[in-house]
Structure 1
Amino acid sequence: MSVGGKAQTTQTIESNAKKWTLRECVEYALDNNISIKQSELDLEAADADKLDALGGLLPTLNGSASVSENTGLSFNPVTNNAQTTTFLSVTGRVNVGYNVFDGLRNIRQVQRADIAKLASQYRLDKMKDDISLFVANNYLQILTNKANLKTLVAQNEVTLQQIDQTQELVDAGQLPQGDLLEIQAQDATEQQQIIAAENAVTISKVSLAQLLLLDDYASFDIVDSDFEIIDESFSEKPVNELINAAEENRSEVIIAEKNVELAEKDLQIARGAYYPTISAFFGYDTRYTDATSFDTRLADPDNPTTTREIGFVEGTGQSVLSEVPNTETVVVGADPFVEQLYLNDGIGYGFSLNVPIFNGFSVRSRVQRSKVNLERTRYQLEQAKLDLESNVYQAYVDAQGSKKAYEAAQKALESQELAYDYAEERYNVGLTNAFDFSQSKLRYNNAKISLNQAKFDYLFRLKVLELYFGVEPSELKL
């Protein structure tokens, strides 16, 4: 899953950028993250699939027209007679088709499209939860690094004061030169630690800015505050309550359930190919041609018949005469365009039945694959439930452990602070040397850093529990 990277539409923070809160970072990430935008496109594609499935329930309407010119021996499209000439012909058709029955596959395609859209929505929700956790983790890492830097700077200020005090005592001959060198060495070590801590703060801010698709890393910063632990009893809830809430609110199990429903619909659609299909059709067509035709008609109304010799009497050779119509063949021009369209039109309608008998086991193989896929999705659903239960339980245990670690770090800091105060008093009156005092101060600094790490680790574990319990990503707060 991609959660960072550059986008062509990355936005730049203004030079006087504000300091961002966790909620602002989460909301901004949800609006601009590339992975979320891709999931939103999947949702739009699901809408298109549903529109396509709905279209399968509607009749089809198609029109066609053609214009052609024929030279030589061709069939007149109106008279259907062969003619050796050049003529223009125009034909037009309108066809309506409707799928009356196809094994209910069209209806189940619509149902499948609805399920697929819901699955896409839940995948989008899961993506938002994942991005929110990434943002919260990066945000808390900045807070941890800033707290560590603050601790190191504050302790170095004390070291600098001690250097001045020790220098005066050395100059007065009350302390050996070695004590001054020891404290100066401690100052050099602390300066290195401060530089490393500053780099850690910068890198963590750059990491979060990249996650938010911001490119002005130098100006990006978050709110500086001594965040308190806000535990709305999530870590105190029974683990079974958290698991039940996660099964109702988290998307992992719901996505797996929708995949099972999709597999069931695919199986129904595949089985639908076993049934006959019935379709209805209706067609209308007409035609026009500018070709001339030959017509036999009476030449003279006043003399409609004439006498013609039609044979001879065998033996005598006498001619046999008969009266026949007095006609002649004339060339008739084409009727007007509109009149031909009216006179030459026709319609056709009916039903079509298609019975599948043998198709090379293609239907049977599709049904078999659909059955296998259905069983696979059922196993995946069971695995998703087990994974979610395991993840929630792990998050619960992590939260409990981080809480205990935080409480232990508080006690350790209290003890180290007392030890440091005692060592400082002894050093000031010359009862301990600079090395022992610097070691006590180092343990005190480490205890403060450990408390910072334990505190913000506990905060992150609480955010994980909140998401599992159904808190909206944008509602995460410190």
Structure 2
Amino acid sequence: MKRRLILIMSLYFASLSIFYAQNKSLPSVWNLEQCLQYAVSNNITVKKAELSKNTSELNYKQSKNNRLPSLSANLSGSMTNGTSIDPITGSFQDEFYTSSNASINSNITLYNGSKVNNTIIQNKLLVSQNDLYVQQAANNIILSITEAYVQALYYQEGIEIAKNSAKSTEELLKQGEVKFKNGALSRSELADLESQNATNQYNIVTAQTQYSQQILVLKQLLELEPEDDFQIEIPHSSDVGNYLIPDKQSIYSKAIDKLPDTKIYDVAKEINEKDLDIAKAGFLPTVSLSAGLSTGFSSTRENINFGRQLDGNKSEQLSLSVSIPIFSKFQNKTNIALAKIKIQESELDKLQANKDLYKKVETAWLNAVTNQNENVASKTLRDTSRLSYDLAIKKYEFGGSTTTDLLVSQTNYLNAEQKYLQTKYMGILYQQLLQYYQGNPIKIQ
């Protein structure tokens, strides 16, 4: 009992050490590249797609093995009492006797309308198709991770803006309290400053909550455990409004060439064409070759020993059979018609996939072009609003404007800063989308 307890405790602490070693290998601060690599390696959908690919590879291997001849051996023994025919000697017996039989048989299909070969080709195509599904699953998680990561960066910078705004308002509130004591500021104006300060403090909490929620989304996409420490790396990204936008048609051509989205349906059509060939083989004959070797022993032949009986009772068989289909209740005709329908469906699926991909490329391209124009305008608005706010502060300090005017100027600046921030990170996302559709790696500097 004591030894069992020691063993259980040893296994428990060993599992703990493995757990902590695994978690220790995970970074606490993740950049986008680390997120993408980890997600592709650990995402459940990607893993399931890889298992489907493994299944198709096994089916492909087995279909090649189906060209080999089959081989089987049989052993049997019996005891008989009463009138019967000895299965070894063929004579009538009216006594108790024992007999045994051994045989080995082989069969191979020589011709079946190339059904075996077409099945091999079809299974090889299924391997290629499942490989494309793995790529597609990986691409989908890459896009989801990228979007969530950029959104987290946006919320993180929003925290800094909220903090800077709160710090500015705190300074104004301190000045306002001094002015109120000196009688240079009314209680109503001081209340406005206090209200704005409380609002800015609330905005910090809201921004932090949004960031935490987005980090949780990203963490869940990465399939991380709840106890795993996770923070994102903040890149030193500058303005992204001047990135090069290639021609829309050029992006689409590269997407067709490098992404699996439409290639899947090209392979699907080839698979269905092989289904048609296999269905046509149903009208053709099947030629098979069989061979066998058998021997046996009977206790009724007491004068002949076991070894001599096995040698003397040997028989060899070789047979060639031809199976010719005559009437299959129109099943072969139906199978051909169904295969042709599947080919037409795969052609339509390919057309739809092309349209969907072009729509995605066109949308990303248009968003990128629009974003570049918006980025220039939002940056100008932010800079001018910042200048106007700075001038309003100075004017307020010298008593040239009211508290209301100052707070309106601050609100305008914050709105302009938020608009620029949104435009900036949407630009980062659109830039990465264009890189993705061109088959280039996603990377935020």
Q: Is the pair's TM-score, using the shorter chain for normalization, greater than 0.5?
A: yes
State the partner residue of 1:426: 395
Q: CA deviation at 1:14?
A: 4.7
Task: Could you tell me which runs of 5 or more consecutive residues in structure 2 were left unpaired when the two chains were aligned.
Answer: 1-18
Q: Is 2:6 the counterpart of 1:37?
A: no
State the partner residue of 1:304: none
CA contact (8 A) 2:395 2:401 kept: yes
Question: Of the candidates 251, 255, 261, which is equivalent to residue 260 of structure 2?
Answer: 251
Identity %: 23
CA 1:469–1:17: 2 relative to 1, 3 Å: closer
State the partner residue of 1:141: 151
Letter paired with 1:476: K
Q: CA deviation at 1:178?
A: 2.0
Structure 1 residues 80-129: Cα deviation after superposition (integer angstroms, max 9, x where no partner): 11212222222111111111110011111111111111111111111111
Q: CA deviation at 1:282?
A: 0.8
CA separation in 2, counterparts of 1:232 and 1:353? Answer: 74
Q: Is 2:427 the counterpart of 1:458?
A: yes
SS at match of 2:407: helix
State the partner residue of 1:286: 295
Letter paired with 1:23: E
CA separation in 2, counterparts of 1:390 and 1:353? Answer: 55
SS at match of 2:82: strand
Structure 1 residues 1-30: Cα deviation after superposition (integer angstroms, max 9, x where no partner): xxxxxxxx9997559952100000000001
The 5 Å alignment of 1:167-186 reads: 167-186=177-196
CA 1:15–1:162: 2 relative to 1, 3 Å: farther
Aligned residue pairs total: 427
CA separation in 2, counterparts of 1:165 and 1:392? Answer: 53
Question: Of the candidates 298, 310, 328, which is equivalent to residue 359 of structure 1?
Answer: 328
CA contact (8 A) 2:242 2:372 kept: no
CA separation in 2, counterparts of 1:28 and 1:218? Answer: 14
CA contact (8 A) 1:12 1:215 kept: no
Q: CA deviation at 1:175?
A: 1.8
CA contact (8 A) 2:129 2:264 kept: yes
State the partner residue of 2:358: 389
Q: Is 2:406 the counterpart of 1:437?
A: yes
Q: What is the root-mean-square deviation of aligned Cα atoms in Å? A: 2.0
Q: Is 2:19 the counterpart of 1:19?
A: no
The 5 Å alignment of 1:22-171 reads: 22-171=32-181
CA 1:395–1:97: 2 relative to 1, 3 Å: same
State the partner residue of 1:343: 312
CA contact (8 A) 1:145 1:197 kept: yes
TM-score (ref. length: structure 2): 0.92
Letter paired with 2:417: K
CA contact (8 A) 2:240 2:427 kept: no
State the partner residue of 1:372: 341
Structure 1 residues 163-221: Cα deviation after superposition (integer angstroms, max 9, x where no partner): 11111111122222222211110011111111111110110001111111112367210
CA separation in 2, counterparts of 1:214 and 1:194? Answer: 27
CA contact (8 A) 1:29 1:211 kept: yes
CA separation in 1, counterparts of 2:369 and 2:258? Answer: 22
The 5 Å alignment of 1:202-351 reads: 202-216=212-226, 219-229=229-239, 235-290=244-299, 292-293=300-301, 333=302, 335-351=304-320
TM-score (ref. length: structure 1): 0.85
CA 1:102–1:218: 2 relative to 1, 3 Å: closer
State the partner residue of 2:443: 476
CA separation in 2, counterparts of 1:441 and 1:127? Answer: 46
CA separation in 1, counterparts of 2:288 and 2:111? Answer: 7
SS at match of 2:237: coil
CA 1:217–1:138: 2 relative to 1, 3 Å: farther
Q: CA deviation at 1:224?
A: 2.5
Structure 1 residues 400-443: Cα deviation after superposition (integer angstroms, max 9, x where no partner): 12222222221110121121112112111111111221121112
CA separation in 2, counterparts of 1:359 and 1:263? Answer: 22
Q: CA deviation at 1:232?
A: 9.3
Q: CA deviation at 1:67?
A: 2.0
Greater share of residues in strand: 1
Q: CA deviation at 1:338?
A: 2.2
Letter paired with 1:271: K
CA separation in 2, counterparts of 1:76 and 1:145? Answer: 91
Structure 1 residues 141-163: Cα deviation after superposition (integer angstroms, max 9, x where no partner): 11010011110011101111111
State the partner residue of 2:199: 189
State the partner residue of 1:200: 210
CA contact (8 A) 1:13 1:220 kept: no
Greater share of residues in helix: 2
State the partner residue of 2:377: 408
CA separation in 2, counterparts of 1:424 and 1:217? Answer: 46
Structure 1 residues 230-270: Cα deviation after superposition (integer angstroms, max 9, x where no partner): 6895x521111111111100111100100011111110111
Q: CA deviation at 1:68?
A: 2.1
CA 1:284–1:229: 2 relative to 1, 3 Å: farther
Letter paired with 2:338: R
CA 1:10–1:62: 2 relative to 1, 3 Å: farther
CA separation in 2, counterparts of 1:10 and 1:383? Answer: 48
CA contact (8 A) 2:237 2:444 kept: no
